[in-house]
Amino acid sequence: MHNIRKITDDLISIGANDRRITRFENQHPVPNGMSYNSYLLLDEKTVLLDTVDKAVGELFLENLEAALNGRELDYLIIQHMEPDHCALIPRIFELYPQAKVLGSQKTFVMIQQFFGLDLADRAMVMKENDTLTTGVHTLRFLMAPMVHWPEVMVTYDETSKRLFTADAFGAFGAVDGNQYADEYNVDTDLLPEARRYYTNIVGKYGRQVMSLLEKISHLEIEMILPLHGPILRQDLHYYIEKYTKWASYTPEEKGIVIAYGSIYGNTEHAAELLAAKLADRGEKNIVVYDVSAWHPSYILSECFRFDRFVFACSTYNMEIYPPMEMLLLELKGHNMQNRTVAVIENGSWAPQSGKKIREILAEMKDMRVLESEITIKSAMTAADEEALDALADMIAKA
């Protein structure tokens, strides 16, 4: 039984939720599932914007048939070739053989790579600012390379002032009935998973996201329609401002992420003591994460949010305790930069984690590592606590 949602009389949402998925891209936990959005424009010509993940393929095809209601499909616009959106392309080619296919040049290379398909005369290669008039609507294509793959383009409907943004402005999580972001409590129910989605999936490509933001700043936009999560139709400046901060690696607000890697609890104790000392100095946004308990995607997301980090870590096999090393490599891999960082190490006979952590931080851009070095030998001493007080002063002043 199909499940299609009308946005306007001529624009239908035909995507679907996957609530059985546990890890997006087989790595990021998605406890509330994922939505794979797809849109059908019913103008004089019919236009499908992207397909979906194979997990929801059958429902999507039923939705498409129902939304077309007996009409032919004239155009398929492919904005992004990652398989969470492109999986149903071969089925669309089979079911609607007359449909022309629009994408960037690299899109057609990837169609060949993924599916071994050469579209020949069905392919319409789009370049920056090319347009397609479908009747009442004129669609303009803007190239958005590396937001999140090199072939990505976004689509601006000049007639209805709607911007179809591919992965940009998406979120982790299924869409719970309400299809517009303004129908949710944005700060508590939407923003954390939108931030975790952006930072982990697209976060590395801040420069390219900034260039897309610059392009769209010249457009009059009434609605943003991403390929994941709810549609945005109110307070668009709020989301664009968040994206601008994330893409420029600017903290959203003052706050401290304390991430600790602790084997038997002694390093954890230092992290807890430091959190309390920071609170005593008036700090409000303090978030403490055990790197063994939290998937790095959550901690990375908080690191994009706040301006100061503390890494407190045991030494393990003369190296950084592995879950902490994974977090640091994720931060480096996502181009995290422009932050103030403190390091606390622990080691019972040859502490090494502090030095190794600083080596990774040195490979990142504009990471200001506080001078104070705290080395715990097994368990905290009175002298260590004094050093923690001094460190708390430095972090609070930073």
Residue position matching structure tokens 């008039």: 133
- Comparing CB distances to ligand FEO, the nearer of 18 and 345 is 18
Name which of 18 and 84 has its Cβ closer to ligand FEO. 84
Strands 367-369 and 339-346: parallel
Shortest spacing between CB 227 and ligand FEO, in angstroms: 5
Residue closer to ligand FEO, measured from CB, 45 or 148: 148
Residues 298, 299, 303, 309: what is their CA dihedral angle, to the nearest 10 degrees? 160
Distance between CA atoms of 200 and 331, rounded to whole angstroms? 9
Tell me how far, at minimum, the Cβ of 80 lies from ligand FEO, in Å: 6
Count of C-beta atoms within a 10 Å radius of residue 396: 15
CA–CA gap between residue 194 and residue 192 (Å, rounded) = 6
The answer to whether 48 and 75 have CB atoms below 8 angstroms apart is yes
Does residue 114 sit in helix, strand or coil?
A: helix
CB burial string 128-155: b at 16+ within 10 A, e below: eebebebeebebbbbbbbbbbbbbbbbb
195 vs 228, beta carbon nearer ligand FEO:
228
Q: Is 246 helix (H, G, I), strand (E, B) or coil?
A: helix
Task: Tell the residue number behind the tokens 């019972």, with chain if given.
Answer: 348
Other CB atoms within a 10 A radius of the CB of residue 71 amount to 11
CB of 34 to ligand FEO, least distance (A): 9
Tell me, residue by residue from 111 to 150, as one string, x for binding to ligand FEO by CB under 6 A and - for no binding.
-------------------------------------x--
Measured at CB, which residue is nearest to ligand FEO?
A: 82
Smallest gap, in angstroms, from Cβ of residue 45 to ligand FEO?
26
Alpha carbon 271 to chain centroid, angstroms = 28
Residue written as token pair 């072939």: 151
| Of residues 92 and 110, the one with the C-beta less far from ligand FEO | 110
In angstroms, the CA 66 to CA 2 distance is 7
In sequence order, what are the beta bridge partners of 154? 142
Residues that bind ligand FEO (rule: CB under 6 A) add up to a total of: 8
Q: Which two tokens stand for residue 194?
A: 């939108």
Instruction: Figure out which of the listed residues 18, 157, 167, 302 binds ligand FEO, where binding follows CB under 6 A.
Output: 167
The residues in 242-301 that bind ligand FEO, with binding defined as CB under 6 A, are none
Q: How far is the CB of 330 from ligand FEO (least distance, A)?
A: 17
Q: Is residue 85 at the binding interface for ligand FEO, with CB under 6 A as the rule?
A: yes
Three-class DSSP category at 231: strand
Nearer to ligand FEO, 45 or 80 (CB): 80
Site string for ligand FEO, 210-239 (x = CB under 6 A): -----------------xx-----------
Residues 6 or more apart whose CB falls under 8 angstroms from that of 347 comprise: 314, 315, 353, 375, 376, 377
As measured in angstroms, the least distance from the Cβ of 207 to ligand FEO is 17
266 contacts 380 by C-beta, under 8 angstroms: yes
Closest contact distance (angstroms) between CB of 266 and ligand FEO is 41
Name which position in 43, 74, 82, 268 contacts ligand FEO (CB under 6 A): 82
CA-nearest of 223, 65, 244, 88 to 154 is 223
**Residue nearer to ligand FEO on the CB measure, 141 or 306:** 141
Residue 334 is a binding residue for ligand FEO (CB under 6 A): no
Report CA Rg, the chain.
24
Closer residue to ligand FEO, CB minimum distance, 20 or 237: 20
Nearer to ligand FEO, 89 or 388 (CB): 89
Q: Rounded CA gap, 217 and 5, in Å?
A: 29
Contacting ligand FEO (CB under 6 A), which of 84, 151, 193, 268?
84
- Is 43 a binding residue for ligand FEO by CB under 6 A? The answer is no
CB of 335 vs ligand FEO, minimal distance in Å: 17
Q: Minimal distance in Å, beta carbon 82 to ligand FEO?
A: 4
Cβ pair 246, 304 in contact under 8 A: yes
Give me the residues that bind ligand FEO (CB under 6 A), please. 80, 82, 84-85, 148, 167, 227-228
